[in-house]
Amino acid sequence: MTDLNILHFEQLKSEIQAQYLKDHHPSHDEISKWKGIDIIYFQEDLRKKAKGNISEKSFYTYFKTSPVTKLPRIDMLNLLSVYAGYNSWFEFKKNHLFANEIISEAEELSETDENELEKELSELPETAEKFQSKQEKAFLTENKTILTEEKAVLQNSITDNQRNNDLSANSIPTEKIDKKERRTFTKEYILFAITGILAAIVGLLFFKDSIFSKEFTYSFIDADRNSRINAELEVKILKENESPILFKVMPNEPFIYTTKSKKLVMEVSSPYYKTDSIVRNLETAPQKENIELKPNDYAIMLFYYSKSITDLKKKRESLNYLISNDALIYQVYDSTEYGVETMDKQRYISFVTLPTTSLENLEVIETKTDSHGKINMVKFRIKKENESNL
């Protein structure tokens, strides 16, 4: 039955491909050759028609190889069957029976049982924790009873010892007792003093960085707009004979740096602002300072036109003017199977002017301009959404 299910899944992939080709024109007709933007458009169409999504990893696992060696989970099979025009995976198989193949309602029930079993398995850790909690309470109650009994026995023993000690003390001369007490007090005092000195030394060694360090706060300002920068920044701390230390600064937030050095050299960069190197003498520098960064106007315009969904004709004309005809355009992927894809100017303009939800996650990584002021390199990526369990 497993081999037949794999054959059915190959049939389903063919119908999914045919369904998508009715309204779209990908770079290849065969679904196994789709990549990059084609996959993004397919995910968008799947969300509209089947109200669900599959991750890029799942697409590469089940659609880039044919035939597959294993079936997807039943919820993914049901989702893809709905996209192809069926109510469920069970209904799809009923409409594509092979010769001598028999499919019964029991199989549909087994699929439902499988979903219920997964739900029960997910609840097992919680049940185990409750059971463990009951065992711990019983164990603590039992030990509490034992400790109470032992305490009573110890109290009796201590009372007996005190009586014996009182009898012994009465038989020892008072002068010897006073000398012994003075010697004991002197030893304890010396031990206490030594312990205090050692604790002070250890504390000084442990907290010396905090004691001798200073905290500096730098707020970054847009030089043209005189307002806080609403973009993520990268700050590199440069030290002699050491590798740079990289910090991420969130939008509208200051950069706080604690150091005991006398000099600070840092490099501030962002896709939307020009890189700036900053040097400070920390012996005389203020502990709070505003630093102006010059905006990269071309990168900001490119980002604005990519995000705008109004007046598409004007948007295309503006992008066509900003970008050089020989520009190198890269799309960077987080996927391990497919890292970078290049595209020409017109394909990029078509991509960013077609309204899709994927553009909400577009992020410009880097831009460069030529001597004529035209953008001759663009590097961007589509940030991942929260992937579903598919």
Report for 118-127, 258-267, 304-313: range of highest mean pLDDT: 258-267
Beta bridge partners of 342: 330
Are the C-beta atoms of 306 and 362 separated by less than 8 Å? yes
- The mean pLDDT value for 50-70 works out to 88
- The mean pLDDT value for 152-178 works out to 52
- Taking the mean position of all CA atoms in its chain, how far away is CA 141? 43
Beta bridge partners of 364: 380
Q: Which residues of 331-365 are buried (b: 16+ CB within 10 A; e: fewer)?
A: bebeeeeeeeeebebeebbebbbeebebbeebebe
Least confident interval from 57-61, 72-76, 111-115, 198-202: 111-115
d(CA 207, CA 215): 15
pLDDT confidence bin for 299, thresholds 50/70/90:
confident
CA angle 50-352-310, nearest 5°? 90
For residue 315, the model assigns a pLDDT of 77
For residue 162, the model assigns a pLDDT of 54
Are the C-beta atoms of 380 and 364 separated by less than 8 Å? yes
Mean pLDDT (the chain) is: 77
Whether 267 has a pLDDT exceeding 50, the answer reads yes
Residues 6+ apart with CB under 8 A from 247: 234, 235, 236, 237, 255, 257
- Looking at per-residue pLDDT, the higher value among 6 and 121 belongs to 6
Residue written as token pair 């089947």: 50
pLDDT confidence bin for 309, thresholds 50/70/90:
low
pLDDT confidence bin for 86, thresholds 50/70/90:
very high
For residue 125, the model assigns a pLDDT of 46
- Looking at per-residue pLDDT, the higher value among 112 and 84 belongs to 84
Return the number of other C-beta atoms located less than 10 Å from residue 134's C-beta: 10
For residue 120, the model assigns a pLDDT of 46
- The mean pLDDT value for 188-199 works out to 86
Q: Is-above-0.75 flag for pTM?
A: no
Is 297-382 in the same CATH topology as 213-293? no
d(CA 37, CA 28): 12
Beta bridge partners of 280: 264
List pLDDT tens digits, range 217-228. Answer: 999 998 888 888
Assigned token pair, 106: 């029991």
- The mean pLDDT value for 366-370 works out to 87
Strand 255-259 relative to strand 245-249, pairing: unpaired
- Looking at per-residue pLDDT, the higher value among 327 and 303 belongs to 327
- Smallest Cα–Cα separation from 328: which of 339, 317, 342? 342
- The mean pLDDT value for 202-209 works out to 68
- The mean pLDDT value for 168-180 works out to 56
d(CA 80, CA 12): 8
Q: Which helix (H) or strand (E) holds 45?
A: helix 37-50
Q: Based on C-alpha coordinates, what's the Rg of the chain? A: 36
Please give the share of the chain, as a percent, with pLDDT higher than 70: 69
Residue written as token pair 């069926």: 86
For 213-293, CATH gives 2.60.40.10
Beta bridge partners of 292: 221
For residue 75, the model assigns a pLDDT of 92
For residue 373, the model assigns a pLDDT of 81
Report for 8-22, 180-194, 321-335: range of highest mean pLDDT: 8-22
For 297-382, CATH gives 3.10.450
d(CA 138, CA 144): 10
Q: Which helix (H) or strand (E) holds 341?
A: strand 340-343
For residue 272, the model assigns a pLDDT of 78
- Smallest Cα–Cα separation from 271: which of 299, 246, 250? 299
Describe the crossing of helices 56-63 and 37-50 by its angle, rounded to 10 degrees. 100
Residue written as token pair 């920390």: 282
d(CA 32, CA 296): 40
Are the C-beta atoms of 374 and 322 separated by less than 8 Å? yes
* Domain residue spans of the chain: 2-103, 172-206, 213-293, 297-382
Q: Which helix (H) or strand (E) holds 215?
A: strand 214-222
- Looking at per-residue pLDDT, the higher value among 152 and 267 belongs to 267
d(CA 61, CA 54): 11
